[in-house]
């Protein structure tokens, strides 16, 4: 069985670190008995988290799997990045393409505090005393000028299909994704807490949107509270249109949190009065939906649930190459 531990960082998309679980067993018996379990080795596979968004350059994080029963050093995550890959992104018609360049944090002329701020934009939560990991990604050569308002030599476009090709260590990985048309939402509205007496400082933010009257529409969303990064909801960030064709929906936005953060059941998914709230709403294709739906429903929340195989669209490896037709919305919650 193979499972993936995922760190989702929507602002610059983050990286996907996969770990291989080769055997998990629970043995119960009414008598004492010595049991021997033979745990086989596992193949080292490449893992991709790649994204391309309308108006933004492609971003690719490339790591490799590691045997979870082996030596895993979570304080040295940069050891799991794959360097020196030849990565190409091209439109499906072949008229536009770009070779991506590798960027590593250690090679940037930034002070430690500036590096931590940059990592925060990736979605990394670092304690003051934590070692700054050498995060690496592949993108267009003009990534930073593009991110600061300059022109982008290669950026995602709506209703366009993009091919990804990765060559490294004698292996080739390929994938295809599409950026659909950005439909967006109708409005954001604020709804008081159902028990205002005990939680009068908490509110819900509703996402109001109209579902097209044709099948095949998929979305993913993130939330941003004040100066926090954009976070995907912990329970479900993707939705399809199977039950809602042609309807108008009011979806309570689940406030996203850092993947490893503590959950407070009394405040979970709510926002506070005085918050500035942003919603990133992206239309996606079916393969991107399948990946995140299976990843978020992998059965990891219960010891009695059946494991679900995560559906990857990467040929020759694991992970996802995702296209986003994104729109951004904001609302202020009055005090």
Residue 212, token pair as written in the block: 């097209």
pLDDT: which is higher, 118 or 276: 276
Average pLDDT over residues 109-120: 77
Q: Is residue 30 part of a domain?
A: no
Q: Is residue 141 part of a domain?
A: yes
In angstroms, what CA-CA distances link 124 with 9, 30, 252, 260? Answer: 7, 46, 26, 10
Q: How confident is the model at residue 289 (pLDDT cuts 50, 70, 90)?
A: very high
Could you give the 3-state DSSP secondary structure of residue 288? helix
Q: Any residues with CB less than 8 A from the CB of 185 and at least 6 apart, and which?
A: 207, 208, 209, 279, 281, 327, 329
pLDDT at 131: 72
CA 285 to chain centre: 15
Q: Is residue 29 part of a domain?
A: no
Q: How confident is the model at residue 229 (pLDDT cuts 50, 70, 90)?
A: confident
pLDDT at 67: 64
Judge whether residue 47 has pLDDT over 60.
Answer: yes
pLDDT at 125: 64
Task: State which residues form the domain around 171.
Answer: 3-24+38-332
Q: How confident is the model at residue 9 (pLDDT cuts 50, 70, 90)?
A: very low
Q: Which run of H or E residues covers position 120?
A: helix 112-122
Q: Is residue 32 part of a domain?
A: no
Judge whether residue 8 has pLDDT over 50.
Answer: no
Average pLDDT over residues 62-84: 73
Q: Is residue 318 part of a domain?
A: yes
Average pLDDT over residues 302-329: 86
CA 193 to chain centre: 29
Q: How confident is the model at residue 85 (pLDDT cuts 50, 70, 90)?
A: very high
Q: Is residue 274 part of a domain?
A: yes
Torsion of CA 129, 135, 141, 145, to 10 degrees: -30
Judge whether residue 159 has pLDDT over 50.
Answer: yes
The pTM of this model reads 0.83
Q: How confident is the model at residue 1 (pLDDT cuts 50, 70, 90)?
A: very low
pLDDT at 219: 97
Q: Is residue 297 part of a domain?
A: yes
Average pLDDT over residues 157-164: 98
Domain count, the chain: 1
Do 265 and 257 touch, CB atoms closer than 8 A? no
Could you give the CA distance from residue 14 to residue 49 in angstroms, rounded to a whole number? Answer: 8
């Amino acid at each position: 069985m193979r499972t993936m531990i995922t760190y989702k960082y929507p602002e610059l998309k983050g990286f996907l670190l996969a770990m291989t679980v080769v055997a998990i067993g629970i043995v119960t018996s009414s008598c004492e008995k010595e049991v021997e379990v033979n745990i086989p080795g596992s193949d080292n596979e490449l893992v991709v988290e790649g994204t391309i968004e309308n108006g933004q350059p492609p971003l690719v994080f490339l790591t490799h799997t590691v045997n979870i029963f082996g030596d895993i050093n979570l304080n040295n995550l940069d050891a799991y990045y794959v360097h020196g890959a030849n990565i190409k992104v091209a439109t499906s018609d072949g008229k536009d393409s770009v070779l991506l360049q590798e960027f590593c944090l250690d090679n940037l002329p930034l002070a430690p505090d500036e590096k931590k701020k940059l990592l925060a934009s990736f979605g990394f939560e670092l304690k003051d005393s934590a070692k700054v990991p050498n995060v690496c990604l592949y993108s267009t050569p003009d990534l930073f000028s593009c991110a600061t308002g300059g022109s982008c030599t290669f950026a995602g476009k709506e209703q366009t299909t993009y091919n990804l090709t990765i060559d490294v260590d004698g292996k080739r990985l390929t994938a295809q994704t599409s950026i659909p048309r950005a439909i967006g939402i109708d409005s954001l509205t604020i709804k008081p807490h159902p028990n205002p007496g005990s939680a009068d400082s908490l509110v819900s933010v509703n996402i109001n949107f109209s579902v097209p009257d044709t099948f095949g529409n998929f979305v993913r969303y993130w939330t941003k509270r004040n100066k926090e990064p954009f976070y995907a909801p912990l329970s479900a960030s993707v939705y399809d249109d199977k039950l809602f064709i042609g309807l108008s929906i009011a979806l309570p936005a689940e406030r996203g949190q850092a993947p490893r953060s503590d959950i407070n059941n009394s405040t979970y998914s709510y926002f506070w009065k005085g918050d500035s709230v942003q919603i990133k709403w992206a239309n996606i294709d079916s393969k991107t939906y399948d990946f995140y739906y299976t990843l978020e429903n992998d059965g990891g929340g219960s010891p009695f649930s059946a494991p679900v195989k995560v559906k990857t669209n990467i040929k020759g490896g694991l992970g996802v190459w995702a296209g986003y037709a994104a729109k951004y919305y904001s609302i202020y919650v009055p005090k």
